[in-house]
Structure 1
Amino acid sequence: MTSQRQDITETLIVQLQTLPPEQQQMVVNFVEFLAQKHAQFQFSQNGKKRRVAGLHEGMGWISDDFNQPLPDEFWMGE
């Protein structure tokens, strides 16, 4: 760890210890939020995004006649 990074970490620890538990939890929540945002930014920079299973569950539908043959008019462009 670089000395500047260590100084920042030590400063944060000292400041965090002066806060009541409720505010300490708020700081933890905020740090987790920043870490999540940073991870999303890294994925978008690499051109890769994580897939989230079930994100759009129930939003699509398939017609009842989906597997039925298409009429000749469709293929003839009529």
Structure 2
Amino acid sequence: MTAQTITLPETFLAQLQTLPPEQIQQVIDFVEFLNRKYVSSQPSQSVVKQARVLGLHQGMGWISEDFNDLLPDEFWTGEP
């Protein structure tokens, strides 16, 4: 294998293996931190956006008859 065909992961692993165990654990912790911060916060590519279904909850809600009526002054002032 020549120097031109060595990949980045192979180079990284070779350098990682030269470190003492404490520094290896620091590298692992840092990679986990980066993974949580950047990879986990991005939406997964496998998530397929589903179309909305019209009328799915039809008849499940209602609006009161007095919905558009003015609210009494007590509501705004907080006085009973």
- What TM-score, normalized to structure 1? 0.47
Q: Which structure: larger Rg? A: 2
Give TM-score scaled by structure 2 length. 0.46
